[in-house]
Amino acid sequence: MREPTWFSWTRRIGLTVLAVFAGLPIWVMVTSALKPLGDVQGDFRWFPTQLTVQPFFDMWHTIPLAEYFVNSIVVSTVASLASVGVALLAAYAVSRYRFHGRQTFSIVVLSTQMFPGILFLLPLFVIFVNLSQATGINLYQSRLGLIITYMTFTLPFAIWMLAGYLDSVPRELDEAAKVDGAGPLGAFVRVVIPVAMPGIVAVTIYAFMTSWGEVLFASVLTNESTRTLAVGLQGYATQNNVYWNQIMAASLTVSVPVVIGFLLLQRYLVAGLTAGSVK
Amino acid sequence: MVGTVQLDRPPPRKRRPRRELLPYFLLLPAVVLELLIHVVPMLVGVGISFLRLTQFYLRNWSSAPAAGFDNYRLALDFNQAAGEALLHSFLVTLGFTVLVLGFSWMFGLAAAVFTQRSFRGRGLIRTVFLIPYALPVFASVIMWSFMFQRDTGIVNHVLIDQLHLADQRPFWLIGQNSFYSLVIVEVWRSWPFAFLMLTAGMQSIPQDLYEAAAMDGAGVFAQIRWVTMPMLKSVNRVLLIVLFLWTFLEFTVPYVLFGKSAPEQADLISMHIYQNSFVTWNFGTGSAMSVLLLIFLLVVTVGYLAVSSRGSDNA
């Protein structure tokens, strides 16, 4: 089947327009990060007058960027690993057992995904403040509170996607391991998890990205010493002198790890994201 | 419901009762966490909406005086300043959502149709399309706020210095323009998700359907109308409601673009409630507004799912 000429031209033009729309801001970010300060304080320039990597060094001194980095890495790593661990157990139950309340569980968990964050941010804040007073464990303004909160954000999606991956692992594998004398959990740990590993890694990366970019809860549940990048980066704008080249350098630096992770794993993510709706 | 796992498996063999408890133990951690962070706060939030809770009672909120329905009356009295502002914010959010949904879906569909057939460079262009979705939201919004700067931004440079479309350099982050800036940034961020979902949906359409349609004399548009669109029905159903909920509740984009106080013309509902709660420390009113928002979203979602599933039964 051949497509008509007018359609291939429409396609070329359409794809070009969309690529410019998607890519232009990236161009601005990358080139501005490589400009000297003078270039970003006057009229906009398409190209730097002089290429410099100085902003990538200066950005660490304008705001406590390294501290925010550490906070973001700790919070996102712990939250995503813990969330995937909890989700794996639940996904295994949903995928391998028929039990009372199984469907109710799936529906309730997924519908928490649509609760507006703003709705439980406020009570959660009040609860954290009061719990901290009662127990002495600091939950607001600490990494711990943020970690627990982020875990629950990614849980529903993680359970949904992991249950899909586990469904695609043949049940004969479990049965074979059980014949060899493994208990149900032994079969899960030694046989099912290794086979489902690519999917598990993809979900972990997804959970990491979600925590890495979260702003609403981080803006309320952190203080100066536990601030994450998502909130901390705005500190550049409140300086007397707005160093746009440093801001772009910092934005680029915090984006590169998650963008690379996403692009490497997009195939798995796409399969997981759409499994429920396409089938 | 979205993505509940299929149930068409053979019934399990008889198990010893001890093992029947195992699935519940496996679910326990997830259930406890969801209860603690989602369900309990939700109920507490409904409770708070009936209290006169200000910062004075924050550390001891059980002693806050009861307010009955006062908070709701305040939020819904459209003749008073607070109610009028809430209504205004609701309408702004509605307009914002309709525009973003329309453009994101159109761009996503066009890109998915244009990349359906393989050509040289297709992988590269798909990657370019997906980068906006992969970037952390806060980083991309900071980047856009640089582009929208009046004196040093690329937007005014192109429109005024290079195309000479106006004499005055407009402001993009205050006044009426701030609404359009918000729409542009949000569309930029969310259309790749539509593209992703629609592309995945199109991959499951068998090629023979197109060949059969072409044999019957169907042109490009007829094939899209009669083969692609019907086959995308279930993807579209999920995509539209997910995009709707995300867009309607958008907080990060206005928060990073405008700072703590958004211009009136771009006062999205999440920002409005945030402002009422954490800037003016009026938790009771903020909670009442949140509860109203949840009721609205529930009605829309349930209604949408009911209507759209009835449609698919008839098809």
CA distance A172 to A96: 12
- Considering only the beta carbons, identify the residue of A44, A102, A237 that sits closest to B154: A44
Inside any domain, residue A168 = yes
**pLDDT for residue B4:** 42
| Per-window interface: B 213-232 vs A, CB < 8 A | 214, 219-220
How far B151 CA sits from the closest chain A CA (Å)? Answer: 7
Q: Estimate the crossing angle of helix B40-48 against helix A117-135, to 10 degrees.
A: 100
**pLDDT for residue B5:** 45
HSE toward the beta carbon, residue A231, CA cutoff 13 A: 21
Asked whether the beta carbons of A217 and A147 are under 8 A apart, the reply is no
**pLDDT for residue A242:** 80
Inside any domain, residue B180 = yes
Inside any domain, residue B232 = yes
**pLDDT for residue A276:** 47
CA distance B289 to A91: 35
Mean residue pLDDT of chain A comes to 84
**pLDDT for residue B12:** 54
Residues of A in contact with B44 (CB under 8 A): 123, 126-127
How far B116 CA sits from the closest chain A CA (Å)? Answer: 11
Domain residues for the domain of A120 are 64-238
Residues of B in contact with A126 (CB under 8 A): 44, 48, 53, 58, 61, 283
Which bin fits B280, alpha (ψ -120 to 50), beta or left (φ > 0)?
alpha
Higher-pLDDT residue of B10, B315? B10
- Considering only the beta carbons, identify the residue of A110, A112, A120 that sits closest to B3: A110
Total structural domains within chain B? 1
CA distance A211 to A154: 8
Higher-pLDDT residue of A119, B311? A119
Answer yes or no: do B27 and A263 touch at CB < 8 A.
Answer: no
Answer yes or no: do B45 and A119 touch at CB < 8 A.
Answer: yes
Q: Taking Cα atoms as reference points, which of A179, A44, A60, A219 lies closest to residue B277?
A: A219
pLDDT of B101 higher than 90: yes
How far A63 CA sits from the closest chain B CA (Å)? Answer: 16
Answer yes or no: do B6 and A26 touch at CB < 8 A.
Answer: no
Stretch among A17-26, B75-84, B305-314 having the lowest mean pLDDT? B305-314
**pLDDT for residue A275:** 54
- Considering only the beta carbons, identify the residue of B22, B41, B143 that sits closest to A123: B41
Number of CB pairs, chain A paired with chain B, less than 8 A apart:
304
Residues of A in contact with B53 (CB under 8 A): 126
The first and second tokens of residue A202, run together, are 């993809």
Answer yes or no: do A248 and B147 touch at CB < 8 A.
Answer: no
Inside any domain, residue B113 = yes
Residues of A in contact with B204 (CB under 8 A): 278
Total structural domains within chain A? 1
How far B306 CA sits from the closest chain A CA (Å)? Answer: 15
How far B185 CA sits from the closest chain A CA (Å)? Answer: 10
Asked whether the beta carbons of B197 and A277 are under 8 A apart, the reply is yes
Chain B residue with the nearest C-alpha to that of A1 = B211
Residue B163 touches chain A, beta carbons under 8 Å: no
**CATH at B225:** 1.10.3720.10
Answer yes or no: do A93 and B61 touch at CB < 8 A.
Answer: no
CA distances from A184 to A105, A120, A178 (A): 21, 37, 7
Q: Taking Cα atoms as reference points, which of A155, A156, A190, A151 lies closest to residue A174?
A: A190
CA distances from A42 to A58, B151, B158 (A): 20, 7, 14
Interval B58-64 mean pLDDT: 66
Interval B277-293 mean pLDDT: 83
- Round the CA-based radius of gyration of chain B to a whole number and report it: 24
Chain A residue with the nearest C-alpha to that of B189 = A22
Q: What is the pLDDT of residues A37-53, one digit of tens each?
A: 888 887 888 888 888 88
Q: CB-based burial of residue B214 (10 Å sphere; 0-12 exposed, 13-18 middle, 19+ buried)?
A: middle
Inside any domain, residue B205 = yes
Inside any domain, residue B125 = yes
Residue B123 touches chain A, beta carbons under 8 Å: no
CA distance A120 to B273: 12
- Considering only the beta carbons, identify the residue of B11, B131, B142 that sits closest to A251: B142
Which of A21, A118, A216, A245 would you mutate first to test chain B, the one with the most B CBs within 10 A? A118
pLDDT of B192 higher than 90: yes
Q: Which residue type does A12 have?
A: R
Residues of B in contact with A244 (CB under 8 A): 146, 149, 152
Higher-pLDDT residue of B315, B98? B98
Interval A233-239 mean pLDDT: 77
Asked whether the beta carbons of A273 and A202 are under 8 A apart, the reply is no
Residue A82, Cβ neighbours under 10 Å: how many? Answer: 19
End-to-end CA distance of chain A: 28
Chain B residue with the nearest C-alpha to that of A236 = B142
Q: Phi and psi at residue B260, in whole multiples of 5°?
A: -65, -25
**CATH at A222:** 1.10.3720.10
Inside any domain, residue A53 = no
Q: What is the pLDDT of residues A149-197, one digit of tens each?
A: 999 888 888 888 888 888 878 888 888 888 888 787 788 888 888 888 8
In the structure, what pLDDT confidence band is assigned to residue A251 with cuts at 50, 70 and 90?
A: very high
- Compute CA A3 distance to the chain's CA centroid, rounded to the nearest angstrom: 40
Answer yes or no: do A275 and B114 touch at CB < 8 A.
Answer: no
In the structure, what pLDDT confidence band is assigned to residue A77 with cuts at 50, 70 and 90?
A: very high
Residues of B in contact with A92 (CB under 8 A): 26
Inside any domain, residue B100 = yes
Q: Phi and psi at residue A243, in whole multiples of 5°?
A: -85, 80
Inside any domain, residue A274 = no
Q: What is the pTM of this model?
A: 0.86
**pLDDT for residue A277:** 45
- Considering only the beta carbons, identify the residue of A22, A121, A152 that sits closest to B131: A22
In the structure, what pLDDT confidence band is assigned to residue B226 with cuts at 50, 70 and 90?
A: confident
Domain residues for the domain of B162 are 93-259
Answer yes or no: do A149 and B37 touch at CB < 8 A.
Answer: yes
- Compute CA B17 distance to the chain's CA centroid, rounded to the nearest angstrom: 44
Asked whether the beta carbons of A184 and B22 are under 8 A apart, the reply is yes
Residues 6 or more apart whose CB falls under 8 angstroms from that of A119 comprise B42, B45, B290, B291, B293, B294
Answer yes or no: do B146 and A244 touch at CB < 8 A.
Answer: yes
- DSSP class of residue A191? I
Inside any domain, residue B53 = no
Asked whether the beta carbons of B28 and A99 are under 8 A apart, the reply is no
pLDDT of B9 higher than 70: no
Q: Which residue type does B248 have?
A: F
Residue B42, Cβ neighbours under 10 Å: how many? Answer: 20
- Round the CA-based radius of gyration of chain A to a whole number and report it: 23
CA distances from B256 to A118, A224, B269, B289 (A): 16, 18, 15, 22
Inside any domain, residue A50 = no
Inside any domain, residue B214 = yes
Q: How many residues does chain B have?
A: 315
The first and second tokens of residue A173, run together, are 């594998």
